[in-house]
């Protein structure tokens, strides 16, 4: 597939918002796609991945007639194998480059109708999210819990510093990366503003649980011990939820009554 037009479009966008950007020449071994530099001299090596699926391509048709149709879609809040595969491939591409201290990002692009759903899939997959129900009640009784299960950021902590959703609808920081602080304070993070997701900052604000990542495999027992020792609460259950969405499509020439 010729992805040069997409790279050229992204380079033009980056230059338009104040970055120096160019494509990395392809070689006979895996290479990332873009090298980007901000005004301070910080460099970002970026692997670009595109998902062209539209929202309705993954939806169920509930009803249909000549005037239009009703669609429903269910998206479980759990790790996505397809997203994990994309992140694994991106990590390997980034690993193949001679990066030194450059920041390493994967930039995920999606059809506009699917962007919200991709955002949630990436969030769940990168951070191994679950909802912890704990006792006693109060502020700590129900919180999102990062690294409660398998997480791509934990697996690729030395390769992926962050995930960018374009054009800059989100920037997920990998707080396990040795370059976390560099990305957190970068011009890119400042430009993304409220679109930055930083689990360490959320934990400091008391808005989530952040399970320490060790050599031990993530499990409910690990989460239970962390909640008891760090927060003094007892885990009742780790829960996940499903996002339901529906669309009514009406053909443009349908009479309105």
3-state helix, strand, coil in the chain (%, to 5): 35, 30, 35
Domain membership flag for residue 255:
no
Report how far residue 134's alpha carbon sits from residue 22's, in angstroms, rounded to the nearest whole number.
Answer: 49
Domain membership flag for residue 110:
yes
Domain membership flag for residue 173:
yes
Distances (CA, A) of 16 to 95, 183, 209: 28, 21, 38
pLDDT at residue 99 in the model = 66
pTM for this model (two decimals): 0.87
Distances (CA, A) of 116 to 33, 80, 119, 212: 24, 15, 5, 28
Closest CA to 103 of 33, 186, 171: 186
**Domains identified in the chain, total number:** 1
Domain membership flag for residue 256:
no
Domain membership flag for residue 257:
no
Report how far residue 163's alpha carbon sits from residue 90's, in angstroms, rounded to the nearest whole number.
Answer: 10
Report how far residue 48's alpha carbon sits from residue 108's, in angstroms, rounded to the nearest whole number.
Answer: 6
Domain membership flag for residue 211:
yes
Query: Which run of H or of E encompasses 244?
Result: strand 242-250
Domain membership flag for residue 67:
yes
171-199 per-position pLDDT tens digit? 999 999 999 999 999 999 999 999 999 99
Report how far residue 133's alpha carbon sits from residue 155's, in angstroms, rounded to the nearest whole number.
Answer: 26
76-123 per-position pLDDT tens digit? 666 777 889 999 999 988 887 766 679 999 999 988 888 888 888 899
Structural domain span for residue 217: 4-250
Domain membership flag for residue 202:
yes
């Amino acid at each position: 597939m010729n992805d040069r037009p997409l790279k050229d479009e992204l380079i033009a966008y980056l230059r338009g918002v104040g970055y120096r950007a160019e494509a990395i020449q392809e070689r006979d071994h895996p290479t990332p796609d873009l090298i980007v530099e901000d005004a301070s001299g910080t460099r970002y090596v970026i692997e670009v991945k595109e998902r062209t699926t539209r929202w309705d391509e993954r939806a169920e048709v509930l009803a249909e007639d000549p005037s239009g149709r009703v669609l429903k879609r269910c998206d479980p809040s759990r790790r996505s194998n397809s997203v994990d595969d994309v992140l694994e491939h991106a990590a390997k591409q980034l690993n193949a480059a001679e990066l030194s201290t450059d920041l390493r990002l994967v930039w995920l692009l999606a059809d506009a109708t699917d962007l919200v759903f991709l955002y949630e899939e990436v969030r769940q997959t990168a951070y191994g999210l679950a909802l912890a129900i704990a006792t006693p009640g109060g502020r700590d009784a129900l919180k999102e819990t990062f690294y409660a299960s398998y997480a791509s950021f934990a697996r690729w902590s030395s390769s992926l510093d962050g995930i960018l959703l374009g054009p800059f609808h989100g920037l997920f920081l990998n707080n396990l990366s040795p370059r976390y602080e560099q990305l957190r304070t970068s011009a890119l993070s400042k430009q993304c503003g409220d679109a930055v997701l930083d689990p360490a900052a959320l934990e400091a604000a008391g808005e989530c649980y952040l399970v320490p990542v060790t050599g031990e495999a993530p499990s409910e027992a690990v989460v239970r011990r962390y909640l008891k020792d760090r927060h003094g609460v007892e885990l009742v259950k780790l829960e996940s939820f499903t996002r339901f969405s529906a669309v009514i499509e009406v053909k443009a020439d349908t009479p309105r009554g």
